[in-house]
Structure 1
Amino acid sequence: MRARVVRVALVAATVALVLLAVPLAVAVRYAFFADEGGELERDAMAAVVRVGPDFTAGDPVELRAVRPDEGLALYDAAGRLRSGSGPARGGAAVTRALAGGVARSRSGGELVVAVPVSSGERVIGAIRASTGAGTVWTRVLWGWAVLLGLCLVALGAAVGVARRQASVLAAPLEALAGTSLAVAGGDLTARAEQSTIAEIDEVARAHNTMVDRLAQLLEHERHFTANASHQLRTSLAGLQLGLEAALDDPDADQRAALAEAAERSRHLDHTIEEVLRLARSGAGMLASGQEQPAGDVLAAADRRWHGAFAEDGRRLTTIWEPQAGRLPVPGRTVEQIADILLDNAQRHGRGTVTVTLRDLGTAFALDVADEGSAGLDPRVIFERGVGEGSGIGLALARQLADAAGGRLSLASTAPTRFTLLLPLHAGG
């Protein structure tokens, strides 16, 4: 780009200089010839003063040239040379001067000026002043050489300015190209800097907006993958443990095991659907989903998790009043949050786990508590990657709560108690 800008500026400057220099060259030529003609006319006028009327009677007249390359000659009324340096016959210029006017002409490589000599009101002769046109052309060529030198200096200055401007224009574009390559290489934190050129700044802003959007999309995809992996792993582990337990126990009720597996499969389907709904919603609210009685949601959670806690020698207790159990809640969202909180309590908590459902009038509260203590700052416990595990579960639970119009918080650290607040009839 730099070379292209310099070429464009060079062409523009050359055209401008040609358009300016050609008329100036013509003006220089005209001015030098006009100036030389004026000099010859002044010298001829000065010679006329020294010519008396008696030269027609044969009196000698002495003419002295002012400049060494100049010729002066006196002609009588018949156009014959009487004195000085010149041709025997005066020529056209002298003929016009004898008619009573100053005449200028160029002939035979000479610049000629003829001035009439008058006595009284009668023209009695003419003074012819001449010089070689080559002398004038030498001056013209020197003038043209100076003009050409000035044009070259101007062209050099134009090239210098063009190179500087090319650097000013190219630098932000090169920086933008470098930023684009960095983004293509995987650095989504790279951003184009602002410059002093409005058009390039507009491109940089559009580029940064594109990268921001791309980073958001990639982050969204990463979160979706992590969320799906986390939730499906938990559901599949429960399904696998139930089936393996039924296979290992020859006295197990196979029908009950299959019923439990079918329920866990339905829950797995709900998990997939909820993760997909969350991914489609982005940072917005979750679309309205099917509502279920809160008691049914907690009863299903108790069935899924009771065996897992029992294997660890721990108790799982669910508590709700009949009125609270009939509250309509976004079932699939609440069951996903409950699963995450119960999974967190199993992995990181201690002792009995208590799930409590409370009716707050315009909202309901779901508490999941255990007898352990949270070792993380409540301000960062819901951030991704924080904690001993994958750092996904609690972040996903809060994201689900926010998307449903609710709020999930760590209400107590010793003992650990998480509380989900969700408005009634908010949609799931």
Structure 2
Amino acid sequence: MKALTNACIFDFQSFKENCYVLFDSEIKEVGNMSEFPGADEIYDCSETIVMPGLINCHTHIYSTFSRGMNVSFDPKDFQDILDQLWWKLDGQLDKKSVYYSGLVYGCECIKTGVTSIIDHHASGIDIKGSLEELKKSICDDLGMRGIFCFETSDRFNIEECIDENLEFAKNKSEKYAGLFGMHASMSLSDATLKNISSVIGDTPIHIHVAESKDDVKDCHEKYDKSIVRRLNDFGLLNNNSIIAHCVHINEEEAELIAQNGCRIAMNPTSNMNNAVGLADYEMFRKFKIPCMVGNDGLGVNITRDFLNIVFAMKNRLNGPTKFNLDDLIHMINNGYEYISNILGVNIGRIEKGYKADMITIPYNPPTPMNSDNAFGHVFFGVFDNFKPRDTWCSGKCMMKDYKLTVDVDSMYSQASKEAEKVWKRINED
């Protein structure tokens, strides 16, 4: 049995001091240090905060290979960003580059305390088998949890996209599962949506919706309806579907999302970076839509998005109290609940019966810290200078004293070689 000792615990619900945590793959017991029964393997957590492993509810692992990529880039609108950068990159990815981008992305997630991710993948050279490569790198080799899908789009072979999503979604474990991925309304014809609708069953979808006004305009001009209405008309808004962004949806669309039991994944930092606007959380709250936080593949440190969503929503909603720390906690817990439900496990708490997905972050509170103000300390003190010391997933130590337990140098070296091949293919295309 393993144990964390002298632990100050905050798990987005409760705050406890001077505790021990007994665990193997699951947390077996949490108690006061005065009653610590001993353990075979002990990690001293003095002067740290113990928290659940963090989650990223919408990302693009393949964005790893965009770092430093030299392509002609002078976008005038969002479509140009896709054409000049992202679609050049994903169109040249094969299985090997998918695998190594996954290893690098996963390593950097572990360094920033992220133990579970929901990924939206695309790779033009190899569609079939690409999700298995992601699972292998993220879940099998690194030990993280991942929910994956392939971004079906008319840019690719539709039958291969459909087969890849359906085949991968057939199997699941406490470490991985599949959704049915689609890019966005503007890259999916009626024929494609009809095809998907005929085979998808009750598999939840994962799709970008109204990220930019381009997507909205395209749908109205071609189909004379809103994006969410279009998806609903094809019967694609399955329960537990992830509708990412929703920057430019209206109230009718919000109501449809709520009625069908879908979730919205908000990505504030990416939205600001792409200058597409910011979603209206007040409308989402009005219709009681469960919202989660993602980063859209912009880096790996999800705490940046935790910070930015608070600041951005205060500005977007034009009021310093229109979005507060309780709203953020609610969104974070929505993410834990969603991943727990999809994978069939309990994550997101430091309690008996929950998976031992945990991180420690050094923190010396300069003012008193208690159950009433713990998240204020975490938000303004810990997230602002976030550097976890240790990371566990299912009780496996993935990082100890800031050092990963895998051969990082070898992984990064091989990833660099694969990235160079991808860049060469892009420039030769």
* TM-score normalised to structure 2 length: 0.21
* TM-score normalised to structure 1 length: 0.21
From the CA coordinates, give the structure whose radius of gyration is larger.
1
**Of the two structures, which has the highest relative contact order with CA contacts closer than 8 Å and spacing of 6 or more?**
2
